[in-house]
């Protein structure tokens, strides 16, 4: 029996009964009651305030919007996964174009130089976003590894409007993190940034210099 098991065994066999979790009041971190329209507006306001870019599109036409974005920004080499529906749709739409599609589901040692020097942008899906802080949340997988959103100079994230939740607490509760916390969830609130001793922000020093969110709506906005 390991030391951890011994400790847990002693806790379970306490003479005065098992430990119970104290009552907690989480009202301060939840219960905002925003509508979807309000969540979208708050998310966009906060993420654009730190140099993030939001492009509204529909779920039916988002790949056309992606193609226009790649052309506008001069992106010729795009890294992306192969299994997630976002990657599958993007690959189908871009297959006949001039953009080189780079497989991201490889051991980093086999394409380290290509990723750090020859990749213009990385495309990822998202699990959702947080309206209160203007943050995306991603759950990396072997198909969409963590470095896909951290290394290329431009990160393009695809977000569905109906997956934006009010607060971080709401994300944790709605997705059951207490019973199965992700080992490597990423919270992204804009492009890479850092500050010097005088608190002057600089963007893109240690990661993507641009973050573009393709915000997909169920239908075209009026």
Q: Tell me what pLDDT residue 20 has.
A: 75
Confidence (pLDDT) at 219: 76
196-209 tens-digit pLDDT = 666 777 766 777 99
Domain ranges of the chain: 34-217
């207490």: which residue's tokens? 178
pLDDT at 222 over 60: no
Reported as a single tens digit per residue, the pLDDT across 148-192 is: 999 999 999 999 999 999 999 999 999 988 888 778 889 999 887
Sheet holding 135-138, edge to edge: 164-165, 128-130, 135-138, 186-188
Is 2 a residue whose pLDDT tops 80?
A: yes
**pLDDT one-digit tens code per residue, 80-97:** 999 999 999 999 999 999
| Interacting residues of 18 by C-beta distance below 8 A, sequence separation 6+ | 11, 12
Residue 6 has pLDDT above 90, yes or no: no
> Residue 220: its pLDDT value, please?
65
Residue-wise pLDDT tens digits, 11-35? 777 767 766 777 878 888 899 999 9
Four-way CATH pick for 34-217: 3.40.50.10420, 3.40.640.10, 1.10.10.10, 3.10.20.30:
3.40.50.10420
**Torsional sign, CA 112, 113, 117, 118:** negative
pLDDT digits (tens, 9 = 90+) for 97-124: 999 999 999 998 888 889 899 999 999 9
């Amino acid at each position: 029996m390991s030391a951890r098991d011994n400790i847990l065994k002693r806790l379970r066999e306490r003479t005065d009964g098992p430990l119970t979790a104290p009552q907690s009041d989480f009202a301060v971190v939840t219960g905002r009651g925003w509508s979807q329209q309000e969540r979208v507006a708050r998310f966009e306001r906060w993420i654009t305030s730190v140099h993030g870019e939001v492009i509204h599109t529909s779920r039916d036409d988002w790949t056309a919007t992606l193609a226009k974005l790649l052309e506008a920004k001069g992106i010729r080499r795009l890294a992306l996964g192969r299994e997630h529906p976002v990657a599958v749709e993007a690959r189908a739409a871009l297959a006949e174009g001039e953009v080189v599609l780079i497989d991201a589901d490889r051991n980093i040692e086999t394409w380290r130089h290509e990723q750090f020097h020859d990749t213009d942008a990385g495309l990822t899906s998202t699990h959702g976003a947080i309206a209160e802080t203007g943050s995306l949340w991603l759950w990396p997988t072997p198909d969409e590894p963590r470095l896909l959103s951290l290394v290329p100079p431009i990160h393009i994230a695809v977000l569905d409007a109906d997956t934006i939740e009010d607060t971080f607490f709401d994300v944790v509760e709605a997705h059951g993190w207490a019973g199965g916390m992700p080992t490597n969830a990423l919270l992204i609130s804009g492009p890479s940034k850092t500050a010097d001793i005088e608190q002057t922000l600089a963007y893109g020093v240690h990661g993507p210099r641009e973050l573009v969110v393709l915000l997909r709506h169920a239908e075209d906005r009026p």
